[in-house]
Amino acid sequence: MIHILLIAEDPLASTHAAALLTSSDFKVVRKDDLGSARSLLATGLFDLLIVTGSEASDVIPLIPASRSAAPDLGLVALAPGWDAATEARAYAAGADLVLSAPLTAAVFTAATRRLLPESPARTAVPPTAPAPVAALPLAASALEVLRDFSQVLGYSLDYKLFTQHFVLKLREILSVNRIAIFLEHTAPPTVQPAGTPADEAARLTCAAAVGIPRDLLECIELTRSSGIGHHVTKRGQILRLDALGGSAAELPDPKILREFEILGCQVALPVNDRERTLGVALIGGRVTGGSFSDAELQLVYHLLEELGLAVKNSWLHDQLSSSHRLFGDVLSAINSGCLVVGADLRVLHTNRAFLQFLRGDTRSGQDIDFSELPPPLAAALHDLVEKGRLTEPFFLSSERHPDRTYRVSLLPLPGAGRRLAQPAMATVEDFTAIKAAQRAEIEASNLRLMTLIAKRFAHEIRNSLVPLTTHHQLLDSDYESPDFRASLKTALGRETSRIQRFTEQMLFLSQPPGAADEVLPAALLLQECFERACRALAVEGRLELSGDVEGSFVRAHRPSLAHAFEEIFLNGLQSAPAALLRVRLQAERGTPGAGRLRLQFRDQGPGLAPAVAARATEPFFTTRSTGVGLGLTIARRIIEQHAGQLEVLPRITNDDPDVILQLPLA
């Protein structure tokens, strides 16, 4: 990574280097003027210095002072609109390279290659080997170290605060000039949000430091991909400057020596949580000039391990707190009232909507006691928490709003391996508008049904009255005629029979089912019902029974089952008057009480189309100009009351039945 210091007195001029600011290959620190950047230049951190402005003429005055402040750095002048004269003036003022804006990262890298140092090539300061007797002890005793370290626990929920306190205590105990602890930029993978970029996870930023300029810490980072961060993360061992050798050229990664030199430190130790390395701690030299013993560094290593565990716990606590706040915000934002109670029936959370339901306002500052809850809600929650008995959603009214209807739903919140009692959540939704809409829909549906019934029955009764009215008008003039009297008799019988059938249909539709207390031979009952249907229609038909005719008995309420059979026969005879109707009986005997009688009805008509067969048992559905469409509807209801089934089928082949019945065998 190339470290660049950008001087841009005009904020808009920094856009000339936008490609460098956004590239991961460059670490760019921008300053408004040279005065604010002098302390950073003194650290020797940067590889290049760029001065830029809105115009080339604005950049030339900045070059001499920049060259004086950083005589060893490559100096680049960047601006739009260079001409030969201004470019010559820039070089004369001390610029190493003049570039025109806008600038791409690839062009910049190629143009400045000769200005970059091939390697830091700085000689490490040879360590001084003091006499072992001069080495200072880590503390008067291990107990004193433990006592000092225990003071960190007071900041255990904020990892930056307790890390800073830890650094101060460690500096006091070790008597060193500087300490810096670099940690991951984000939380570890176990608590890291999904999709975190890889370079974000590799960055190690300074979490706490002492003895190092703040400006320097703001513009330097360690990384797991190179330098000290890579070496310590990969090996998990203590890295000492005095063990690296004489020069950067001898190291596998020259950046290690340079980072030690920039930060002014001598030892790098891993900060881990016993599973993985979270960061790196860098320690400078002793203020007395002495070196560290292996025992001291081992103890510091273990103290840093405890620090890593505390940092990890702090991250987990932050995640838990964030999740808790998010959960609370979600519950508070929803329009439904929400209440959460613990295993001890203590109210843990209520949102604004629930406070409005319970108290009529949103005084969230006042705690709610379980005894304040409406009795039906309190009883249902008690059964769920204490006994695990879940109540189905129910409706209740609030004392504050007696004119409103609320729907209450309960949800248990069991944990892994948790036994009763258990926490639970209740949601309260305002169903007033929904209930009103349901009532309005029911009323509208009832009105539509009444309108349809009135229309169908008025039409059918009017059809029955037409022949009777006609004969009434001719009664005085044609009564003496034998033909008139015969026609009048037929009309009276036919139309009164039709009206009587409508009346019976309505009675069977409205009255409760009768008790099935009579055992009847199915074949005999079918024959009687067929003859009655023929008389009602004044037709001559034939009934053919086949299959298990003998010995097929059913337990039934005789008037109801007879009416159902008669309705089926009437539909068959209306399809093909004076024709043959076939009924096949098939007894399926199993265990006692589980046998079934299957009846297949087929007439000589053309059969039903699939669309008509699917709707044949719907109330008031008919394809004829007469009738109200209740015959098969009532027949199906009666069969189902007898624990049977009725199915109307379309005609696919000539031998397919039109209606199939199943009834329990007696």
pLDDT at 126 (0 to 100): 45
Classified as helix, coil or strand, 645 is strand
Task: Tell me the pLDDT tens digit for each residue of 498-535.
Answer: 777 777 777 776 777 778 888 999 999 999 999 988 88
Query: What's the rounded Cα separation, in Å, for the pair 401 and 407?
Result: 13
Task: Quickly state the pLDDT bin for 282 (edges 50, 70, 90).
Answer: very high
Whether the predicted pLDDT of 312 surpasses 80: yes
Task: Tell me the pLDDT tens digit for each residue of 582-603.
Answer: 999 998 877 666 788 999 999 8
pLDDT at 198 (0 to 100): 54
Query: What's the rounded Cα separation, in Å, for the pair 101 and 82?
Result: 9
**247 vs 468 pLDDT, higher one:** 468
- Residues with Cβ < 8 Å from 127, sequence gap 6 or more? 241, 242, 266, 291
Task: Quickly state the pLDDT bin for 138 (edges 50, 70, 90).
Answer: very low
* Alpha-helical segments (H) within 511-630: 522-537, 558-575, 610-615
pLDDT at 599 (0 to 100): 93
pLDDT at 546 (0 to 100): 92
CB count, 10 Å around CB of 551?
A: 12
Q: Which of 296, 230, 294, 291 is nearest to 259 (CA)?
A: 230
Average pLDDT value for the chain: 82
The token duo for 50 is 């760029």
Classified as helix, coil or strand, 448 is helix
**159 vs 561 pLDDT, higher one:** 561
Classified as helix, coil or strand, 19 is helix
For the whole prediction, is pTM greater than 0.75? Answer: no
- Residues with Cβ < 8 Å from 643, sequence gap 6 or more? 663, 664
Contact by Cβ (8 Å): 146, 302? no
Phi-psi region for residue 451, left (φ > 0), alpha (ψ -120 to 50) or beta? alpha
Average pLDDT over residues 164-189: 82
Give the burial string for 285-307 (b: 16+ CB within 10 Å, else e): bbeeebbbeeebbebbbebbbeb
pLDDT at 141 (0 to 100): 54
Phi-psi region for residue 498, left (φ > 0), alpha (ψ -120 to 50) or beta? alpha
